[in-house]
Amino acid sequence: AVTMDEDDTVARGNVSLARMQALIDNVLKLSGVEPDQILMSPLQRQKYVAEVGGNIQTDGSKVTKADGGFVGLSFGGIPIETSRAVSNGCMLFLKTDTWKLCELEAPGFADLDGNVLSRVSQTDAYEGFYRWYWNLVCTRPNANAILTGLSL
């Protein structure tokens, strides 16, 4: 994890294009590969668009009507996606092929007593639950990075 705070004042900083580039370059130096996806909070996307401001390059070949907002963003050709699962104040720089889903048990309805549905007491209803046991594993942690300490 790399922080926006470069001078040890423990202050949050606005997203910086130079800091994002430095993080990507450090990942390349340490791992030999560059991230291929950036994830951020939808609220952090507002800060990113404000930072890039006049530096936004648009693809006019796909424009069919006037639109003032942005959904499809990228940095240096790396697509930026938003996720509510990413905390506001950080950005994840991922090399997606280094992440593997290891399935411990195939998905399915829990069959604990020979039945996948059980009667609910004191009501005219049945219940059951669907389960899937898995772990997410990173095979090359040095090919991924987190930029933290961004202003909220």
Nearest CA-CA partner of 47 in 150, 143, 129, 127? 150
Quote the CA–CA distance of 90 and 12 in Å, as a whole number: 10
Whole-model pTM: value is: 0.75
pLDDT band for 89, please (50, 70, 90 cuts).
confident
Convert the pLDDT of each residue in 1-29 to its tens digit: 566 556 566 667 778 888 899 999 999 99
Q: Which residue has the tokens 């990173």?
A: 138
Cα distance between residue 148 and residue 28, in whole Å: 19
Contact 3, 149 (CB under 8 A): yes
Q: How far is CA 53 from CA 47, 48, 58, 96, in A?
A: 10, 8, 12, 28
pLDDT in tens, 32-62: 999 999 999 988 888 888 877 766 666 666 6
